[in-house]
């Protein structure tokens, strides 16, 4: 009797092992940062649905001197959506179906990957479901792109410790960034690019620095720091906040700490230089200070979206030690 029971147990155990789902192999995804593959029939792309997609997903990236789309769209006809094309990291897939819906899936055909599948019986229905979920889609794409950018940065991170030693904060940035200026309460790192340079500056302020009208104080502080530490090419020139364009201001959090995020355009007083900047002022009550870290780009006659996306990714991942 015991032999029969044991035999039955082992047969059941073996069946469970055989029926256990195996990990499915997924190839690595591909694609440039902030690029999306849009899959639909060519007729739809040239019609109402394609116009709606371009309108919703090509909104300008905030804080640039000239409009650049938040995402670059790559149209893929439905009939060629096979093989290597399915490994794109971000895919928006429109499908004709009697049931209308919007679905987000991760790692469907590659990893990491985000697939937004929009179904409906015609173009109008599909456009409706896309528009109803556009904020969720944008946020999801931004998150997967920030994660991918951080992964790429970690392949060759800088070993510099100036930010950690001077301000007790840490963030991971590429080894191409080098120390450009380092003083008692100001650190400036810079990365050369083909048509200019990308920059990160950091400094600390007393906690009472933002009393009063916060927006005006942020601009005043930026301009005073620029005058003291960020000179232009000509004698007597220095970086200030662009006077002709009002920056974007946000109240946010970094690692659970209150922060003010400012996106806008900088220019150089008494010179002809300008570009976009992103500024975080983070309240550090433990050390009784505002920790300020800002990224700005000088890249005349070049697209600046991806440069600013990199700077934002680096700064927003900052940690307090």
How do residues 243-257 score in pLDDT, each as one tens digit?
A: 888 899 999 999 889
Distance separating alpha carbons of residues 247 and 263, to the nearest angstrom: 6
Contact yes or no for 87/110 (Cβ under 8 A): yes
**25 or 15, which is more confident?**
25
Q: Which domains does the chain have, with CATH numbers?
A: 35-153 (3.30.379), 162-320 (3.40.1000.10)
**Please, where are the H alpha helices in the chain?**
2-19, 42-45, 48-57, 123-132, 134-153, 162-167, 214-229, 305-316
How do residues 283-307 score in pLDDT, each as one tens digit?
A: 999 999 999 999 999 999 899 999 9
**Please, where are the H alpha helices in 192-271?**
214-229
How do residues 177-222 score in pLDDT, each as one tens digit?
A: 999 999 999 999 999 998 899 999 999 999 999 998 999 999 999 9
Q: What pLDDT score was predicted for residue 23?
A: 66
Distance separating alpha carbons of residues 95 and 102, to the nearest angstrom: 10
Q: What pLDDT score was predicted for residue 33?
A: 96
Contact yes or no for 289/45 (Cβ under 8 A): no
């Amino acid at each position: 009797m015991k032999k029969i029971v044991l035999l039955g147990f082992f047969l059941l155990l073996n069946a469970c092992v055989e029926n256990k789902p195996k990990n499915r192999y997924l190839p690595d995804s591909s694609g440039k940062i902030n690029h999306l593959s849009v899959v639909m029939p060519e007729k739809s792309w040239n019609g109402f649905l394609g116009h709606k997609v371009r309108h919703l997903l090509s909104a300008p990236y905030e804080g640039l001197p000239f409009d650049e789309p938040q995402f670059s769209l790559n149209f893929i006809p439905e009939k060629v959506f096979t093989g290597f094309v399915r490994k794109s990291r971000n895919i928006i897939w429109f499908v004709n179906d009697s049931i209308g819906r919007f679905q987000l899936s991760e790692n469907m055909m590659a990893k990491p990957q985000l697939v937004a599948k929009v179904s409906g019986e015609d173009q109008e229905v599909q456009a409706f479901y896309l528009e109803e979920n556009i904020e969720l889609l944008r946020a999801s794409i931004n998150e997967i792109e920030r994660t991918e950018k951080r992964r790429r940065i970690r392949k060759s991170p800088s070993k510099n410790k100036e930010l950690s030693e001077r301000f007790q904060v840490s963030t991971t940035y590429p080894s191409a960034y080098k120390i450009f200026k380092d003083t008692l309460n100001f650190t400036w790192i810079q990365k050369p690019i083909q048509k200019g340079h990308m920059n990160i500056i950091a400094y600390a302020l007393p906690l009472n620095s933002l009393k009063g009208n916060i927006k005006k104080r942020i601009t005043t502080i930026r301009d005073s720091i620029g005058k003291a530490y960020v000179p232009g090419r000509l004698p007597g020139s220095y970086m200030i906040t662009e006077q002709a364009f009002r920056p974007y201001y946000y109240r946010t959090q970094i690692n659970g700490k209150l922060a003010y995020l400012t996106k806008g355009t900088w220019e150089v007083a008494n010179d002809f230089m300008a570009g976009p900047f992103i500024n975080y002022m983070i309240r550090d009550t433990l050390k009784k200070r505002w920790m300020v870290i800002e990224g700005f780009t000088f890249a005349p006659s070049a697209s600046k979206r991806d440069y600013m996306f990199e700077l934002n990714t680096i700064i927003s991942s900052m940690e307090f030690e």
